[in-house]
């Protein structure tokens, strides 16, 4: 029966797709005299456009885009099945779109049914279309998680997590010759964010489970055939069933925490029995603000499932990006021992011996900040920002950008441009110190864009300062406690690959040696 339905469906879908393609193709190649043409791009095949020309290359999309850029210039069109992608890659056009015409390019394109399942129908900061719902969710996230007062108030969470992190590294070094850094960083950052979100002491195995589920969701939501050919969606019933199972797993993992916290808050922070130990007073956790939020654009409060979506967004947006930045920075500190010693010298000069490193200490570590910025330039965690969409048909660089198109900003190219950066392929933190070619680079891109690891404009990462703090704090602590070296006989391999963020193909393994001063030292805050 399934097969019969599929055949019937394919026939209907093909006729619809051909009709749709004829209409779109004719409309876009014969623009009305007063409207601009679409940006240039490779000639596509009927119906599927450039989709299979790209899929058959079996290379990460970011490299294919680099090749097209060389042929078609800084703005070009790809027809991916029923979707039109406009790819933008020059600093001027990115600045024009995201900063000068900010509100116009601040929306998000339509999502596939699978992505809609995980975003509760676009009820999250990153997925909501530009409008009242997005504004109120984003405002709430900023005031509850990343305002300077909130960041200060979570210092104890970071300090506890850093101590556990260093203990875990010590245990790992005692057990193996080379420490695998990435899983430790992911676990620590995810634990910090989970505690900020739930106000609870989340057990380590629970954090690992969250990480696992979130990783599976990322894989499940990477673009697939039905994203480009929505007419084929019904043929992918199995995928949708798998996605529903995964959503169930996500809810089973996170709903107990949401519910336990709700009871805790409703009881005024009282000490009734709870499956989780609550460590923040009622009102201090991110979910507490979501319980009472009635976002603009919704006529009711958020459901528990929507709250799970919003918390998952914080955990996934903040974990991989920061852990990736730490891993790349540490790779360079292992390869460049002189730079590592300079960071060590700076940390020991600024932070008080035997005490935890504070946020104020980190602010005084100019070379460490330069090393992290240089890493974000040389290895931006993502080569694109999230997909954008225009709020209405508009024009960019003399070309038409339809409201229905996905606008992809290819940002990695900016930092590879030898016209903008001296010897861009080199990792040199000094370029971000006074007098260097990166000194005074504004990563928020207000006046112009030279690098944009956090995006720019309306959709810029709302938690860039928190992300930088996590990265710098962990690096400062790890370099203060240990000397990091390549394992004997091994040279770390800086080849990159794509796994949601752009990570090291072979994750960093390092031999770590306790620094003299930290032996037997009690760590107090
Ligand atoms: C080093 C760490 C981080 C990096 C490199 C990073 C990078 C980015 C980038 C490139 C974007 C997309 C901007 C765009 O679409 O134009 C983004 C958006 C976002 N990030 Fe981050 N991020 C980091 C840490 C965090 C953390 C810790 C959180 C949460 C606490 C977070 C939450 C978000 C959210 C909610 C959005 C969506 C914003 C919107 O659509 O309005 N990020 N981030």
Distance set, CA 457 to CA 86, 128, 411 (Å): 18, 16, 14
pLDDT band at 503 (very low <50, low <70, confident <90, very high): confident
Tell me which residue has its CA closest to atom 21 in ligand 1: 461
Tell me which residue has its CA closest to atom 26 in ligand 1: 318
Cα dihedral 38/42/43/49 (nearest 10): -80
Tell me which residue has its CA closest to atom 10 in ligand 1: 454
Q: Which of 461, 462, 467, 501 is the best mutation target for the ligand 1 pocket, counting ligand atoms within 8 Å of the beta carbon and taking the most?
A: 461
pLDDT at residue 5, rounded to an integer: 47
Over 90: is that where the pLDDT of 292 sits?
Answer: yes
pLDDT at residue 50, rounded to an integer: 92
- Using the mean position of ligand 1's atoms as its centre, give its distance from the Cα of residue 50 in Å: 30
pLDDT at residue 230, rounded to an integer: 79
Over 50: is that where the pLDDT of 1 sits?
Answer: no
pLDDT at residue 505, rounded to an integer: 87
pLDDT at residue 235, rounded to an integer: 75
Asked if 65 contacts 77 with a C-beta cutoff of 8 angstroms, the reply is: no
- Using the mean position of ligand 1's atoms as its centre, give its distance from the Cα of residue 445 in Å: 15
pLDDT at residue 55, rounded to an integer: 86
- Using the mean position of ligand 1's atoms as its centre, give its distance from the Cα of residue 321 in Å: 8
Tell me which residue has its CA closest to atom 32 in ligand 1: 317
- What average pLDDT score do residues 117-138 get? 97
Q: What is the β-pairing status of strands 482-485 and 406-409?
A: unpaired
- What average pLDDT score do residues 354-377 get? 95
pLDDT band at 150 (very low <50, low <70, confident <90, very high): very high
Q: Which of 317, 501, 503 is the best mutation target for the ligand 1 pocket, counting ligand atoms within 8 Å of the beta carbon and taking the most?
A: 317
Tell me which residue has its CA closest to atom 40 in ligand 1: 126
152 falls within a domain: yes
Residue owning tokens 């409703």: 266
10 falls within a domain: no
- Using the mean position of ligand 1's atoms as its centre, give its distance from the Cα of residue 486 in Å: 31
Report the atom number in ligand 1 closest to the C-alpha of 126.
40
- Using the mean position of ligand 1's atoms as its centre, give its distance from the Cα of residue 157 in Å: 21
Residues 6+ apart with CB under 8 A from 169: 179, 184, 478, 481, 482, 512
Is the CB of 501 inside a 6 Å radius of any atom of ligand 1?
A: no
Q: Which of 131, 463, 501 is the best mutation target for the ligand 1 pocket, counting ligand atoms within 8 Å of the beta carbon and taking the most?
A: 463
pLDDT band at 7 (very low <50, low <70, confident <90, very high): very low
Q: Which two tokens stand for residue 371?
A: 């090393």
- What average pLDDT score do residues 299-311 get? 96
Report the atom number in ligand 1 closest to the C-alpha of 382.
10
Is the CB of 138 inside a 6 Å radius of any atom of ligand 1?
A: yes
* Cα–Cα distance, 406 to 389 (Å, whole number): 5
12 falls within a domain: no
Over 90: is that where the pLDDT of 130 sits?
Answer: yes
19 falls within a domain: no
pLDDT at residue 525, rounded to an integer: 36
Query: Which among 323, 324, 266, 316 is positioned nearest to 291, based on CA atoms?
Result: 266
pLDDT band at 160 (very low <50, low <70, confident <90, very high): very high
Look up the domain containing 278 and give its range.
31-518
Is the CB of 53 inside a 6 Å radius of any atom of ligand 1?
A: no
For 213-259, what is each residue's pLDDT tens digit?
Answer: 999 999 999 888 878 887 777 777 888 999 999 999 999 999 999 99
Over 50: is that where the pLDDT of 524 sits?
Answer: no
Over 70: is that where the pLDDT of 23 sits?
Answer: no
Tell me which residue has its CA closest to atom 8 in ligand 1: 454
1 falls within a domain: no
Q: Which residue has the higher pLDDT, 412 or 390?
A: 390
Residue 461, annotated as binding a ligand: yes
* Mean model confidence pLDDT for the chain: 89
Domain count, the chain: 1
478 falls within a domain: yes
Asked if 488 contacts 494 with a C-beta cutoff of 8 angstroms, the reply is: no
Residue owning tokens 């390092």: 510
Q: What is the β-pairing status of strands 83-88 and 200-201?
A: unpaired
Over 90: is that where the pLDDT of 309 sits?
Answer: yes
Out of 60-64, 358-362, 370-374, pick the least confident.
60-64
Tell me which residue has its CA closest to atom 25 in ligand 1: 318
Out of 62-71, 147-156, 197-206, 399-408, pick the least confident.
62-71
Is the CB of 466 inside a 6 Å radius of any atom of ligand 1?
A: yes
Q: What is the CATH number of the domain that holds 440?
A: 1.10.630.10
Is the CB of 185 inside a 6 Å radius of any atom of ligand 1?
A: no
pLDDT at residue 223, rounded to an integer: 83
Tell me which residue has its CA closest to atom 9 in ligand 1: 454
Is the CB of 194 inside a 6 Å radius of any atom of ligand 1?
A: no
Over 80: is that where the pLDDT of 19 sits?
Answer: no
pLDDT at residue 13, rounded to an integer: 52
Query: Which among 360, 326, 295 is positioned nearest to 192, based on CA atoms?
Result: 326
- Using the mean position of ligand 1's atoms as its centre, give its distance from the Cα of residue 143 in Å: 15
Is the CB of 463 inside a 6 Å radius of any atom of ligand 1?
A: yes
Over 90: is that where the pLDDT of 11 sits?
Answer: no
- Using the mean position of ligand 1's atoms as its centre, give its distance from the Cα of residue 211 in Å: 17
Strands, E assignment, 110-217: 179-180, 200-201
Share of the chain above pLDDT 70, in %: 91
Residues 6+ apart with CB under 8 A from 420: 91, 414, 450
Over 90: is that where the pLDDT of 283 sits?
Answer: yes
58 falls within a domain: yes
Q: How many CB atoms lie within 10 A of CB 513?
A: 12
pLDDT at residue 518, rounded to an integer: 57
Query: Which among 20, 70, 75 is positioned nearest to 395, based on CA atoms?
Result: 75
For 176-222, what is each residue's pLDDT tens digit?
Answer: 889 999 999 999 999 999 999 999 999 999 999 999 999 999 999 98
Is the CB of 39 inside a 6 Å radius of any atom of ligand 1?
A: no
pLDDT band at 430 (very low <50, low <70, confident <90, very high): very high
Is the CB of 462 inside a 6 Å radius of any atom of ligand 1?
A: yes
- What average pLDDT score do residues 375-399 get? 94
Is the CB of 451 inside a 6 Å radius of any atom of ligand 1?
A: no
Q: Which two tokens stand for residue 92?
A: 């001027």
pLDDT band at 6 (very low <50, low <70, confident <90, very high): low
193 falls within a domain: yes
Report the atom number in ligand 1 closest to the C-alpha of 376.
5
Asked if 404 contacts 20 with a C-beta cutoff of 8 angstroms, the reply is: no
Angle between helix 204-221 and 181-198 (nearest 10):
100
Is the CB of 461 inside a 6 Å radius of any atom of ligand 1?
A: yes
Out of 49-53, 320-324, 398-402, 423-427, pick the least confident.
49-53
Q: Which of 185, 454, 456, 503 is the best mutation target for the ligand 1 pocket, counting ligand atoms within 8 Å of the beta carbon and taking the most?
A: 454
Is the CB of 386 inside a 6 Å radius of any atom of ligand 1?
A: yes
pLDDT band at 34 (very low <50, low <70, confident <90, very high): very low
Asked if 217 contacts 312 with a C-beta cutoff of 8 angstroms, the reply is: yes
């Amino acid at each position: 029966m399934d097969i019969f339905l599929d055949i019937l469906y394919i026939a209907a879908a093909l006729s619809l797709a051909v009709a749709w393609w004829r209409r779109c193709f004719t409309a876009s190649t014969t623009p009305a005299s007063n409207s601009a043409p679409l940006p240039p791009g490779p000639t596509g095949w009927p119906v599927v456009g450039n989709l299979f020309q790209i899929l058959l290359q079996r290379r990460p999309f970011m490299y294919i885009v680099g090749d097209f850029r060389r042929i078609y210039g800084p703005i070009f069109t790809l027809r991916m099945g029923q979707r039109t992608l406009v790819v933008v890659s020059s600093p001027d056009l990115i600045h024009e779109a995201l900063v000068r015409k900010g509100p116009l390019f601040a929306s998000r394109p339509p999502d596939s049914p699978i992505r809609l399942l995980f975003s509760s129908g676009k009820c999250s900061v990153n997925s909501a279309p530009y409008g009242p719902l997005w504004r109120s969710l984003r405002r709430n996230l900023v005031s509850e998680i990343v305002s300077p007062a909130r960041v200060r108030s979570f210092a104890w969470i970071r300090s506890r997590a850093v101590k556990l992190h260093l203990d875990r590294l010590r245990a790992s070094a005692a057990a193996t010759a080379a420490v695998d850094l990435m899983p430790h960083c992911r676990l620590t950052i995810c634990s910090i964010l989970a505690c900020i979100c739930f106000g609870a002491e989340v057990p380590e195995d629970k954090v690992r489970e969250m990480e696992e589920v979130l990783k599976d969701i990322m894989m499940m939501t990477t673009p697939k055939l039905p994203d480009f050919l929505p007419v084929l969606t019904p043929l992918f019933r199995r995928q949708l069933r798998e996605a529903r199972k995964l959503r169930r797993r996500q809810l089973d993992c996170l709903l107990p925490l949401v519910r336990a916290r709700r009871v805790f808050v409703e009881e005024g922070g009282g000490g009734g029995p709870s499956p989780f130990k609550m460590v923040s007073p009622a009102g201090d956790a991110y979910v507490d603000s979501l319980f009472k939020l009635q976002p603009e654009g919704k006529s009711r409060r958020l459901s528990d499932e929507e709250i799970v979506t919003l918390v998952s967004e914080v955990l996934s947006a903040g974990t991989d990006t920061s852990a990736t930045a730490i891993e790349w920075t540490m790779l360079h500190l292992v390869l460049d021992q002189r730079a590592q010693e300079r960071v060590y010298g700076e940390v020991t000069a600024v932070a008080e011996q035997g005490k935890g490193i504070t946020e104020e200490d980190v602010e005084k570590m100019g070379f460490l900040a330069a090393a992290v910025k240089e890493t974000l330039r040389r290895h931006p965690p993502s080569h694109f920002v999230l997909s954008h969409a225009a709020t209405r048909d508009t024009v960019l660089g003399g070309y038409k950008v339809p409201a229905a198109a996905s606008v992809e900003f290819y940002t990695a190219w900016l930092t590879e441009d030898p016209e903008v950066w001296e010897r861009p392929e080199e990792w040199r933190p000094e370029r971000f110190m006074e007098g260097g070619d990166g000194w005074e680079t504004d990563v928020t891109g207000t006046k112009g864009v030279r690098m944009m690891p956090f995006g720019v404009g309306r959709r810029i990462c709302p938690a860039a300062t928190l992300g930088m703090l996590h990265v710098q704090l962990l690096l400062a602590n790890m370099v203060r406690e240990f000397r990091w070296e390549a394992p004997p006989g091994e040279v770390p391999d800086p080849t990159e690959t794509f796994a949601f963020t752009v990570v090291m193909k072979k994750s960093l393994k390092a031999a770590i040696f306790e620094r003299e001063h930290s032996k037997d030292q009690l760590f107090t805050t």
